Chain A
Amino acid sequence: MPETNYNQEMAFFVDMQRCIGCHACEMACAECETNGQESMIHVHYVDRAVSTQTTVQVCMHCEDPTCANVCPADAIHQDDFGVVHSADTSRCIGCSNCVLACPFGVPKKKEQAELMMKCNMCYDRTSAGKKPMCATVCPSQALYYGTREEIERMRPDSVPVNSFLFGKQEVNTKVNIMMPKGTHQLIIE
């Protein structure tokens, strides 16, 4: 990677219960230059028939990314800061392995371009010491980018958690999810 001003004290905090489904993050995401004006964030109803709850999902930047492991073309790369980058355009063969294997359902496949694309935490911005686009526009702060001290001060009853259990598989991530105090892991049974 070229010389960067990536600030490792800053972290990403997500709280789906705060998502109001306004789609502002989606519009902002398309401004990210590393995505080529394509929105990578996911906003949708969880179960429209029974609830109005919406959810928002960014790439969680796993410590041992399943997407990169299942990629047959070695196209997904994790940098020294732990950011898992969008597929290398020269290598990606558009097989969709990453799209279907990601436990968080993050990568998108651009069918005609035969290319996987995903959130890379607005690397053009974060590598210059700025906040990701989605976090700068989220009105309810369901998406927040800042220091751990800041979030702890703002949300005294919550705690950032970066460990998930999908059945038997533990997945640790760079991005945090805000959970009730005393929780260490989000369990998806």
Chain B
Amino acid sequence: MYRLFKTLNRTAFIKALVASVVVVVLVLIGSRNLQNFDAALFAYLVGTVFAVFGIAYRYSVWLQRPPTRLYWQRSMQFLFSSMIFPYLFRSIKLFFRNIVGQRFIAYRSGTRWIGHFLMATGCMLAFAITIPLTFGWINFELKPGDDLTYFAKVFGFEAFSFSLGSPIAFITFHGLVWCSILVTIGAAIMMKRRLTNGGLIATQTFSDDWLPLILLIAISITGLGISYDYTFLEGRTYQFMAVTHAIVVILFLVWLPFGKFFHIFQRVAQLGANLYKKEGMRRGMAVCPHTKQEFATRTHIEDLKKVTEDLGFDYNRKEGINHMDLSPEGKRSALAKAHFEARKKSGKFFG
């Protein structure tokens, strides 16, 4: 316990605490002072607040690492510059392409993209439905004096209404069922890859690669169980279904900041990296002294020199050259040349 306090990152702790308090305040405001809050979802709320705390803490610690900090600062600096509109437009476009659509995965493998896209879309839709419900931001009520019209209230304001038994009602009330189907199919595709791909079999671990898939399937199946129960079993097994679902979802929420799912939040940094490259190209390219060709942006090379220095590396070579000034090919050639010289000096190239 003492070690826990000793290693506590103060900045991260304060930021995490603030984020958690903000969530609680948003719940109070959004649910109109808990008037629209669904008490049955209290356990989910506790899990979500814990997840927010953990994610904010880890994110803050992560941003304190020299390379991450630099990327973060540069992304903000480049975004909020005179180029704000083209860069904002570019970032929004890339957000839809790479975060919502995850198109970059398609270049890694087609099947993998389909699997990941189904899984991620199912999860994102499920978050979009469950988080506002858990926070009491959305609630459904029957129209007074009309027991056939249901209306949805968002932040306490009437947003839209629909007739019970209509196709819209069916689609809305089964929103999480559609999500479960997407997630289950996606996770099954990813599991098949992990069972058949030799490279993955050699490097995968249970906690990082299998547990997230098992957990997603468990959430989906237990969630479908609730629907199955009220549709076909007249609610006879409701308690069992509801409790098992709550257990796996809360496990997922508590584990969210620690395990593989943290990549969901890290992935946004890809937008920053893209912006960094774009602005770097505008500022000018670095030319390798060996190949005499452009190989990276000058900003990137200068920043890397600083980052490696911050991390305790000193790649300064004689005559004011830094090893980072060379392109990857230049570095390989420098090594080969030094090796050649050492062999030549010894008088023997082989043996």
Give chain A's interface residues, CB within 8 Å of chain B: 1-2, 16-18, 32-36, 42, 44, 46-47, 53, 55, 57, 66, 69-74, 85, 89-91, 93-97, 99-107, 110, 112-115, 120, 123-124, 127-128, 155-158, 164, 166-169, 177, 179-181, 183, 186-189
- Is the CB–CB distance between B108 and A166 below 8 Å? no
Known: A93-B266, A93-B273. 11 other contacts (CB 8 A): A1-B205, A17-B343, A70-B304, A70-B311, A71-B67, A90-B263, A101-B308, A104-B335, A105-B329, A179-B343, A180-B346
Inter-chain contact B327/A35, CB cutoff 8 Å: no
- Chain B residues with CB under 8 Å of A66's CB are 308, 313
**Bound Cα distance A1, B200 (Å):** 11
List, in ascending order, chain A residues with CB within 8 A of B98's CB.
114
Distance in angstroms from B105 CB to nearest chain A CB is 8
Chain B residues with CB under 8 Å of chain A are 62, 65, 67-68, 70-71, 98, 104-105, 107-109, 197-199, 201-205, 260, 263, 266-267, 269-270, 273, 276-277, 296, 300-301, 304, 307-308, 311, 313-318, 321-324, 326-340, 342-343, 345-346, 348-351
B311 touches A186 (CB 8 A): no
Q: With the chains together, A85 CA to B345 CA distance in Å?
A: 35
Nearest 8 A-B pairs (CB), nearest first?
A180-B346, A105-B328, A167-B317, A105-B331, A55-B336, A33-B198, A33-B199, A124-B202
Q: Do the beta carbons of A96 and B300 come within 8 Å of each other?
A: yes
Chain B residues with CB under 8 A of A164: 335
Residues of A within 8 A of B108 (CB): 36, 89, 110, 113, 115
Q: For residue B329, which residues in chain A have a CB less than 8 angstroms away from its CB?
A: 42, 44, 105
In the complex the two chains form, is A123's CB within 8 Å of B202's CB? Answer: yes
Instruction: Tell me how far the C-beta of A146 lies from the nearest C-beta in chain B, rounded to whole angstroms.
Output: 17
Q: CA A52 – CA B346 in complex, angstroms?
A: 21
A103 proximity list for chain B (CB < 8 A): 315, 323, 331
Q: Which residue of B lies closest to A79 (CB)?
A: B203
Q: How far is the CB of A12 from chain B (nearest CB, A)?
A: 15
Cβ of B336 and Cβ of A105 under 8 Å apart? no
Q: How far is the CB of B187 from chain A (nearest CB, A)?
A: 14
The answer to whether A186 and B331 have CB atoms under 8 Å apart is no
- Please state if A167 and B304 are interface contacts (CB–CB under 8 Å): no
The residue from B62, B202, B328, B346 contacting A34, defined by CB atoms under 8 A apart: B202
Chain B: minimal CB distance from A76 (Å): 11
Closest to B295 in A: A100
